[in-house]
Structure 1
Amino acid sequence: MSESNIFTIYGTDPFLIELKRDEVFSELKKNNFFIREIFFNNDKTFKFESLYQENEASLFSEKKILDLRIYSPITKENTEQFIDFCLKLDQENSLVLSIYNIDRLTTKKWFKEISKISKVQEVKKVYPNQFRNWVIEQYKKNSLDINEENINLLIEKTQGNLLAAMQEIKFLKLLNASTNFLMEDSSDFEIFNLSDSIFSSDLENSLKILQNLKNKKTPEPIIIWFLYRELERLILIKEDKNTFFPGPKSYQSNLKKKSDSLKLDFIVELKMELAKLDRDFKLGRSDFWKTSEQVLIKLCNPQFFSKTPA
């Protein structure tokens, strides 16, 4: 075990924790960590045996990220086992701990112990009077040079919602936005009509909209961005039922219903399919629109692709 391969992220805002976690993942990928296993510690019944199994050295020496998300305190009974696991972490693995809104966290014995052997990052809440500076910081991180008019429009449009703001920024980056690009130009894409169809499990209409987008020669990266965004939202709703997204009440309601109807593993598999589609498309090795149709079919009718989707 070495300090460099254990990362501890903690805070009160699930989205900001996810954002910081993604930054850690991006850095690890630069060091050839491409395999990730996700574990959830939601209650006292969590067993560390599965972590020990994943930590066992691979015959092929594959570098692996163990992504442990902690929603409830490690019990006194499990503290010793937890620290032992961290100390015995294989050099070919990295452990990323995400700790969500646990009261008096810094006073916990297990947290004090893990702080001694990991890189600890506290993710602080972004208050309304800090929102503008946070948005500007994200522009810089994403190498976007956008004028004051665009910044003001984004702030007005997202109303302090960090997730919505970040998704707009990703969208602008995807479009290679410049100082001459106005965000209102991005709001009229028919692609956003897909959300209601997908979350209402209306396959026929979803495929019709996708065909219209194809006929209009909508850039393929926009389709990938949209589908990936919706999958991310499904996961975030699973992690926190109170997560809010801008839009009509029907959108929020249908989003929650769809999230409840799908297993987390099923959503993660779809994200992996999208990542493969993105990679293959860039290399000219896939029928982009046909594969996108297959993803839509799975989202609308998961019961045909998973024995227990719910």
Structure 2
Amino acid sequence: MKTNPGQLSQLLRKGLAPVYLVSGDEPLLVQECCDQIRSAAREAGFEDRLTFHADQQLDWNTVADEFSAMSLFAERRRIEIRLPTGKLGDGRAVMERVLAQPPEDIVVLLISTRLDAAETRRKWYKELQSKGVHVPVWPVDADKFPAWLQQRAGKQGLSLTRGALAMLAERLEGNLLAASQELDRLSLLTNGSTIDEEVIEQAVQDSSRFNGFELVTELLAGRAPHAGKIIGVLQQEGENPLGLLTVLNRDLNLLLELKTGENRTANPSAFFKKRGVFQPQRARVLEQAARRLKPQQLHAAVKLCSQVDRAAKGFEELSPWHYLRDLSVLLAQNH
């Protein structure tokens, strides 16, 4: 069956399904849905967790062996499999066998980017629809972002004036993960008082000398030394790089779209405005990056972003900040 994120908690209270699929391109909402499932599974006694990343290096025979193995001391387990491409690929046969007769001592959590449309027509997905739960996570539309932000603030006991809400919404540019982090900061700084524009300005100044948005600007501008300083500060302050990664990925893909295919002869200013880039400062940064960066640089940068994502989720030996430093060097070439 399918359910939306808002109905997931109610569904979990009725009992656990053997398999869950959470898919979408909003890291915050995907993460929160997964956390709800993990919490419900732990409460039901599924304490042990195994994680797999379904990239080209994954041996699906290893995954199949885990499903067949008796868990140590008969403990219940959670097996999580990340699908970075939205496709199950070589794992289809394994999942078909699992879904045909789901193990009673295992809860499976598949975590995917937006699910590839072709996958929804395959046997494994149809089996999942009958035996498990699919939670598709859709982006929050730009025009609905202020309302989402206000609702989120209300849940945290924060009261924002109309001006403060507008200022915060413009600054966050629809980035849900960054919005969550900003509201957490405001909650600590304001202690229940009403938040107006002055409070927002002061909170921004007090919270950090640098922020993820400034880092994205410096990376795209090819200013590697300054980008490196910002990376160091954000790393020391314990920032989550996934928030800025969402913005950076979006901008790199916009640049790739402009530099390749039928759009490569388009006027940059008109192109970015058509794609919803209305802030003059951001448009200027993107236009300058479009003139300077080559398609091969942009493709390599997108791959490095994938490594940052994997590292932030614990699937790389090095830290995500290491790959962000590599990214700053890559984007500074030909500067």
Q: TM-score range by the shorter chain?
A: 0.5 to 0.7
In the alignment, residue 145 of structure 1 is paired with which amino acid?
Answer: L
- Provide the residue aligned with 2:204 in structure 1: 187
Deviations 1:283-302 (A, max 9, x none): xxxxxxxxxxxx99989999
**Structure 1 segment 72-87 matched on structure 2, within 5 A:** 72-75=86-89, 78-87=91-100
**SS of the residue 1:145 aligns to:** coil
- How many angstroms does 1:238 deviate by? 8.7
Q: Secondary structure in 1 aligned to 2:81?
A: strand
Partner in structure 2 of residue 163 of structure 1:
177
The residue type equivalent to 1:69 in the other structure is R
2:25 pairs with 1:8: no
Mapped pair 1:125 → 2:136: no
CA distance in 2, matches of 1:176, 1:60: 49
Aligned 8 A contact 2:71 2:77 in 1? no
Is contact 1:6–1:95 with CA below 8 Å preserved after alignment?
yes
SS state at 2:241 partner? helix
Give 1:117 shift: 0.9
Q: Does structure 1 conserve the Cα–Cα contact (< 8 Å) formed by 2:158 and 2:187?
A: no
2:22–2:34 CA contact under 8 A, matched in 1: yes
Is 1:230 the counterpart of 2:244 in the alignment? no
Change over 3 Å in CA distance of 1:151–1:13 after alignment to 2: same
RMSD, aligned CA: 5.0
> 1:24 maps to what in 2?
37
**How many angstroms apart in 2 are the aligned matches of 1:234 and 1:82?**
31
For structure 2, the 5+ residue unaligned runs are 1-14, 256-278, 294-300, 327-335
Paired residue for 1:57, among 49, 70, 74?
70
Match of 2:106 among 74, 88, 93: 93
8 Å CA contact 1:32–1:63 kept in 2: the answer is yes
User: AA paired with 1:124?
Assistant: W
Q: CA deviation at 1:188?
A: 0.9
Who is 2:296 aligned against? none
Q: Write the letter of the residue equivalent to 2:146.
A: R
Q: How many residues align?
A: 262
Find the counterpart in structure 1 of residue 265 from structure 2: none
What is the TM-score of this pair, normalised by structure 2? 0.56
Letter in 2 for 1:67: E
CA offsets, 1:7-56, max 9 Å, x none?
1223454554334323333444444655543323346x754223234443
Q: C-alpha distance in 1, partners of 2:77/2:225?
A: 35
CA contact (8 A) 2:49 2:77 kept: yes
Identity of aligned residues (%): 18
The residue type equivalent to 2:79 in the other structure is L
Structure 2 residue identity aligned to 1:112: K
- Distance in 2 separating the partners of 1:156 and 1:205: 26
* Pairing 1:27-38 to 2, within 5 Å after superposition: 27-31=40-44, 35-38=48-51
Q: Which amino acid aligns with 1:116?
A: S
Matched letter for residue 20 of structure 1: C
Distance in 1 (CA, whole Å) between partners of 2:35 and 2:250 is 16
The secondary structure found in structure 2 opposite 1:4 is coil
SS in 2 for 1:7: strand
CA contact (8 A) 1:201 1:300 kept: no
Corresponding residue for residue 145 of structure 1 = 158
Distance 1:91 1:171 in 2: 42
8 Å CA contact retained: 2:311, 2:320: no
How many angstroms does 1:116 deviate by? 0.8
What is the CA-CA distance between 1:205 and the residue it aligns to? 6.6
Distance 1:19 1:129 in 2: 22
Partners of 1:227 and 1:171 in 2: CA distance: 13
Contact 1:62 1:92 in 2 (8 A): yes
Work out which of the two has the higher radius of gyration on C-alpha atoms and give 1 or 2.
Answer: 2
Residue of structure 2 equivalent to 1:154: 168
Question: Which of 28, 35, 60 is the matching residue for 1:48?
Answer: 60
Residue type at the aligned position of 1:229: N
Alpha carbons 1:235, 1:259 under 8 Å: kept? no
In structure 2, relative to structure 1, the CA distance for the partners of 1:90 and 1:238 (3 Å cut) is farther
- C-alpha change, 1:18 and 1:236, in structure 2 (3 Å) is farther
1:102 Cα deviation after fit: 1.0
> In 2 relative to 1, CA 162–65 (structure 1 residues): closer, same or farther, beyond 3 Å?
same
State the distance in 1 between where 2:140 and 2:321 align.
38
Q: Secondary structure at the match of 1:147?
A: coil
